[in-house]
């Protein structure tokens, strides 16, 4: 019964093992005769576990690759219960770990397991190996013995051996005198033995010797060696200074020479490595006999200085590695004759800035590593973090890697960006680089710039930089890896604007403010710097630049006070005030935001509102009454207005002002009372009448102010003094020459005649066309108002369609109103049909009677039209910024109420089609 159970188990074992086998040879199986002594316990990837006579055996194999077996507890490889392969397994190498063969041989034992080894045998573990154990392995080229116990004549069994690796074992004395004569590579790893010239001479084929020891390593060069590698602790690797004419590579880790002598018989030496060497200096003629040296690596030594002329003989040197010494300077002309130097590593020394001068002429380099020279400092621009000059490396145009990690560098030099067009890696990590400018990010190559290990606190763009980003001129080739913890104030404004306009104009990771949040998402009000000199008492004033849409380059450079950033917008916040703040004239002109909530302001007058205000917060004050004039100015001035929490009176006297506010698009809260029905028909009449009258009044007031030459001059002088006068063209700075107002029914005429003709030719006009230049989704009345004010003229294409279109009509009135206010012929009427046939209302009829109009069909139509329109410029039109993103142009001040055309209902917002 017992035997039968064993059989069943063995069968299961085979079945399961076979099912997981890779294609080709199946894993070994327990021999049938060993039922009860051998069990399969499971498998991993290419790994199989068995229990043989109560001890675990691990087997790994890869068909054609390797066979590995590990025995434990005195299990021998000759044990008859060991699992074996059904089909012969042929592998390049076999590893036998802790598996003795006692009196037998490894070849016989492997034969029983059905394994054939073709190239290399490795025997590990405390096993005794004599000649019998290695019998019949003559065909193997490579043998590795680890931790085994050898006899003097053990290796005689394998006369054809080409590679021998002895590790962690004692070599019996005399064993090295009779090494297989075919040996080509000999490695002795912790064997306590050295190699003498006599031993090496008996090995005519030997090309490579490696001696690695924990105490001492020595070789007397002899024979025809190509490579000698000695590795030992510091000062314990010894090789005589007379080398071998055949030697190509010499590796000396822990070289013992304190006062090295010049190498002799060094003619063919191409690569010389030392590591942990004891020498503090080298003789000038150290390499004189080594004319073929290509690579010199003297790492982690104690070198304090190099002799002049050290490399003069090694003209073809392409790699020099001096990492981790104590050098602080290079001798004069060290590389004078080395025209092929490609890689230079001077990291982890104590070099200073003078090093750059020593490297100036080494222009053949591909890689330059200067890491961890903490006194190196910036290669350009002195110690200042503001000057980005040209470094002494400027002629290294073939560099692909420049590493300056931890070198106290403060800036990115200009030549690294502009000259090194092959650069792939620029490592500036662990440096105090905290200020980056726009130009710092403009690389000519697709380099990865590593700036990790410090926080960038300033990202400085100028207005010109912003404009060039918007024009798409930024180079996003470099991948800049920096961590940003920016001071997000007025100095970060243009960078923020550029990132908003074109987020991918440079390749940067998250550009974040130290106080939290992305720079691009920071509200304009946060990107300000305090400006107490501009401020009224009890108020806090902060300025920032103002992103006017980019215009053509100014005719002459703007006059600016030196060192003063162009600050064009003013944010004012007041606490504990009872009146609207009185701002200086210059300040008032640039005030864009007044934060006045939670004060005790009881009166707001039309003159209290700065002319370019965009945001006005008057919540929770004591305002009980507003006159219609002020309400109108409030409704049409700021883009955002808050009035909640004021004790506004809700009587019939207040109703005209309230109804203006109710219609105000800017109002962000429901501060006003519901309409007072009992006040009768007054509201609309009042609105219309009051609106018109007051608009004219306000416009007149503005004109009066601007008409006072003294006041105008004072304002201008103040602006110049602050460097605030924006760069203007000689004209009025308006974006468009003409806003074409037309009805949908006449679109074909507009596209095919007007636009085709006016936007072409030598002096094309810049037309504002709703189907092209309006931001999608913008509030239509605001877009009408913005377009009229951003254009020199409004060209109304008047037809029957037009007069029936509420929107077109609104546009006409807007332009008409502005024309009245500015006493300028802003409105140009183009009649598509005979005026007599058009249903003109009295106002328009009056306008046409006193102003010229152009009639389609007139033989002088185009001449007349061009005379009526201001002269065009030679630039394509730019789209209007989306509503609420770009501030309105300076002239886009809305002083006039938005007049409904026929009646208020027709201006409802349901339709997004501007022309009904």
Ligand X SMILES: *[C@@H]1O[C@H](CO)[C@@H](O)[C@H](O)[C@H]1NC(C)=O
Site residues for ligand X per CB under 6 A: 39, 41, 51, 73-74, 326, 328, 350, 352, 363-364, 375, 398, 454-455, 485, 575-576, 670
Would you say 40 or 847 has its CB closer to ligand X?
Answer: 40
Q: Phi, psi at residue 755, to the nearest 5°?
A: -65, -45
The two three-digit tokens of residue 35, written as one number: 């039922």
The two three-digit tokens of residue 474, written as one number: 């930024």
Return d(Cα 645, Cα 623) in angstroms, integer.
9
- Pairing type for strands 640-642 and 853-855 reads unpaired
Give the nearest distance from C-beta 39 to ligand X in angstroms: 4
What DSSP line would sit under 111-176, residue for residue?
Answer: HHTTEEEEEEEEEESS-EE-TGGGTT-TT-SEEEEES-EE-TTGGGG-TT--EEEEESSPPPTTGG
- Pairing type for strands 115-124 and 142-146 reads parallel
Give the nearest distance from C-beta 352 to ligand X in angstroms: 5
Q: Phi, psi at residue 754, to the nearest 5°?
A: -60, -60
> Of 850, 750, 732, which is closest to residue 799 (Cα–Cα)?
750
Instruction: Say if CB 516 and CB 483 are below 8 A apart.
Output: no
Would you say 74 or 259 has its CB closer to ligand X?
Answer: 74
Would you say 485 or 520 has its CB closer to ligand X?
Answer: 485
- Pairing type for strands 149-150 and 128-129 reads parallel
Give the nearest distance from C-beta 43 to ligand X in angstroms: 12
Would you say 338 or 791 has its CB closer to ligand X?
Answer: 338
Would you say 274 or 646 has its CB closer to ligand X?
Answer: 646
Return d(Cα 355, Cα 189) in angstroms, integer.
40
> Of 895, 881, 473, 480, which is closest to residue 699 (Cα–Cα)?
895
Under DSSP, the state recorded for 637 is S
SS in 3 state form for 882-912?
CCCCCCCCCCCCCCCCCCCCCCHHHHCCCCC
Would you say 234 or 398 has its CB closer to ligand X?
Answer: 398
Instruction: Say if CB 777 and CB 830 are below 8 A apart.
Output: no
Give the nearest distance from C-beta 308 to ligand X in angstroms: 21
Give the nearest distance from C-beta 437 to ligand X in angstroms: 20
Residue 636 three-state SS: helix
Residue 846 three-state SS: helix
Give the nearest distance from C-beta 907 to ligand X in angstroms: 22
Give the nearest distance from C-beta 400 to ligand X in angstroms: 10
Give the nearest distance from C-beta 678 to ligand X in angstroms: 17
Instruction: Say if CB 231 and CB 211 are below 8 A apart.
Output: yes
- Pairing type for strands 227-231 and 208-212 reads parallel
Ranges assigned E (strand) in 448-563? 448-456, 458-460, 479-484, 507-508, 529-530, 539-544
The two three-digit tokens of residue 597, written as one number: 């909530």
Give the nearest distance from C-beta 62 to ligand X in angstroms: 24
The helix/strand count (H/E) of the chain reads as 20, 39
CA torsion 839-841-846-852 (nearest 10°) is -40
Ranges assigned E (strand) in 213-356? 217-218, 227-231, 237-238, 249-253, 271-275, 295-299, 319-321, 343-345
Would you say 575 or 717 has its CB closer to ligand X?
Answer: 575
CA 681 to chain centre: 63
Give the nearest distance from C-beta 364 to ligand X in angstroms: 4
Return d(Cα 273, Cα 319) in angstroms, integer.
11
Under DSSP, the state recorded for 748 is H
Give the nearest distance from C-beta 598 to ligand X in angstroms: 10
Would you say 354 or 732 has its CB closer to ligand X?
Answer: 354
Would you say 431 or 593 has its CB closer to ligand X?
Answer: 431
> Of 415, 417, 455, 419, which is closest to residue 438 (Cα–Cα)?
417
Give the nearest distance from C-beta 661 to ligand X in angstroms: 12
Would you say 288 or 353 has its CB closer to ligand X?
Answer: 353
Would you say 102 or 713 has its CB closer to ligand X?
Answer: 102
Would you say 348 or 636 has its CB closer to ligand X?
Answer: 348
Give the nearest distance from C-beta 780 to ligand X in angstroms: 25
Would you say 420 or 819 has its CB closer to ligand X?
Answer: 420
Would you say 80 or 363 has its CB closer to ligand X?
Answer: 363
Give the nearest distance from C-beta 378 to ligand X in angstroms: 15
C-alpha distances in Å from residue 325, one per residue of 299, 307, 378, 876:
7, 14, 21, 62
């Amino acid at each position: 019964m017992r035997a039968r159970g064993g059989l069943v188990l063995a069968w299961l074992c085979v079945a399961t093992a076979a099912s997981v086998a890779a294609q080709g040879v199946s894993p070994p199986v327990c021999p049938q005769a060993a039922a009860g002594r051998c069990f399969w316990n499971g498998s991993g990837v290419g790994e199989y576990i068995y229990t043989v006579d109560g001890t675990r055996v691990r087997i790994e194999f890869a068909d054609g690759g390797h066979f590995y077996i590990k025995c434990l507890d005195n299990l021998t490889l000759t044990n008859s219960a060991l699992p074996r392969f059904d089909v012969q397994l042929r592998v390049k190498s076999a590893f036998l770990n802790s598996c003795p063969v006692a009196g037998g041989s490894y070849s016989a034992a492997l034969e029983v397991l059905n394994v054939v080894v073709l190239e290399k045998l490795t025997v590990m573990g405390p096993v005794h190996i004599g000649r019998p154990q290695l019998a019949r392995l003559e065909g193997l080229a490579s043998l590795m013995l680890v931790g085994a116990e050898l006899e003097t004549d053990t290796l005689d069994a394998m006369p054809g051996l080409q590679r021998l690796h002895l590790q962690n074992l004692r070599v019996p004395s005399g064993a090295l005198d009779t090494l297989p004569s075919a040996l080509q590579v000999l490695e002795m790893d912790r064997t306590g033995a050295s190699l003498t010239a006599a031993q090496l001479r008996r090995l005519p084929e030997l090309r490579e010797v490696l001696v690695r020891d924990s105490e001492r390593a020595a070789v007397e060069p002899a024979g025809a060696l190509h490579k000698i590698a000695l590795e030992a602790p510091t000062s314990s690797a010894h090789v005589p200074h007379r080398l071998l004419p055949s030697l190509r590579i010499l590796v000396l880790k822990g070289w013992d020479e304190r006062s090295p002598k010049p190498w002799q018989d060094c003619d063919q030496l191409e690569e010389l490595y030392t590591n942990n060497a004891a020498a503090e200096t080298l003789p000038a003629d150290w390499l004189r006999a080594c004319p073929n040296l290509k690579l010199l690596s003297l790492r982690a030594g104690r070198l304090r200085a190099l002799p002049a002329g050290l490399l003069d003989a090694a003209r073809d040197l392409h790699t020099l590695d001096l990492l981790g010494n104590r050098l602080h300077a290079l001798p004069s002309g060290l590389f004078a004759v080395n025209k092929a130097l490609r890689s230079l590593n001077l990291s982890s020394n104590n070099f200073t800035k003078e090093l750059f001068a020593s490297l100036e002429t080494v222009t053949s380099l591909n890689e330059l590593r200067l890491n961890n020279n903490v006194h190196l400092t910036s290669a350009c621009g002195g110690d200042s973090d503001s000057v980005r000059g040209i470094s002494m490396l400027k002629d290294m145009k073939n560099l692909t890697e420049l590493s300056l990690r931890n070198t106290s560098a403060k800036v990115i030099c200009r030549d690294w960006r502009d000259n090194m067009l092959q650069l792939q890696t620029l490592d500036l990590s662990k440096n105090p680089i905290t200020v980056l400018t726009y130009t710092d990010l403009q690389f000519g190559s697709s380099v990865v710039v590593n700036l990790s290990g410090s926080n960038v606190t300033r990202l400085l763009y100028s207005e010109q930089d912003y404009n060039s980003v918007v024009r798409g001129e930024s180079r996003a080739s470099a991948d800049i890896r920096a961590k940003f913890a920016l001071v997000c104030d007025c100095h970060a404004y243009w960078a923020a604007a550029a990132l908003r306009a074109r987020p991918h104009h440079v390749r940067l990771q998250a550009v974040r403010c130290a106080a939290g949040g992305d720079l691009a998402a920071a509200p304009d009000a946060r990107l300000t710097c305090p400006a107490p000199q501009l401020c009224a008492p009890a108020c806090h004033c902060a300025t920032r630049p103002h992103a006017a849409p980019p215009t053509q380059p100014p005719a002459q450079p703007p006059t600016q006070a030196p060192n003063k950033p162009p600050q064009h917008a003013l944010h004012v916040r007041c606490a504990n005030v009872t009146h609207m703040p009185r701002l200086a004239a210059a300040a008032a002109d640039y005030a864009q935001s007044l934060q006045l909530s939670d004060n005790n302001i009881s009166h707001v007058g039309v003159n209290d509102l700065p002319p370019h205000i965009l945001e006005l917060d008057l919540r929770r004050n004591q305002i009980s009454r507003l006159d219609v004039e002020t309400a109108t100015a409030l409704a049409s001035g700021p883009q955002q207005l808050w009035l909640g929490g004021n004790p506004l009176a809700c009587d019939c006297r207040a109703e005209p002002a309230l109804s203006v506010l109710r219609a105000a698009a800017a109002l962000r809260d429901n501060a006003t009372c519901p309409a007072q029905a009992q006040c009768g028909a007054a509201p609309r009449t009042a609105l219309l009448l009051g609106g018109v009258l007051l608009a004219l009044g306000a416009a007149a007031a503005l004109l009066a102010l601007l008409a006072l030459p003294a006041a105008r001059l004072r304002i201008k002088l103040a602006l110049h003094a602050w460097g605030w006068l924006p760069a203007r063209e000689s004209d009025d700075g308006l974006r468009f020459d003409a806003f074409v107002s037309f009805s949908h029914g006449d679109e074909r005429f507009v596209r095919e005649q007007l636009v085709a003709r006016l936007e072409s030719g030598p002096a094309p006009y810049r037309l504002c066309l709703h189907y092209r230049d309006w931001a999608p989704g913008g509030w239509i009345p605001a877009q009408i108002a913005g377009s009229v004010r951003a254009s020199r003229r409004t060209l109304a294409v008047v037809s029957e369609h037009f007069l029936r279109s509420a929107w077109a009509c609104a546009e006409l009135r807007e332009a008409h109103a502005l024309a009245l206010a500015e006493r300028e012929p802003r409105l140009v009427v183009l009649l598509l049909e005979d005026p007599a046939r058009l249903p003109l209302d009295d106002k328009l009829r009056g306008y046409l009677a006193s102003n010229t109009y152009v009639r389609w069909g007139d033989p002088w139509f185009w001449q007349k039209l061009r005379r009526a329109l201001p002269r065009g410029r030679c630039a394509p039109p730019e789209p209007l910024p989306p509503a609420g993103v770009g501030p309105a142009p300076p002239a886009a001040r809305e002083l006039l109420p938005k007049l409904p055309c026929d009646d208020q209902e027709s201006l409802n917002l349901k339709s997004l089609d501007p022309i009904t």
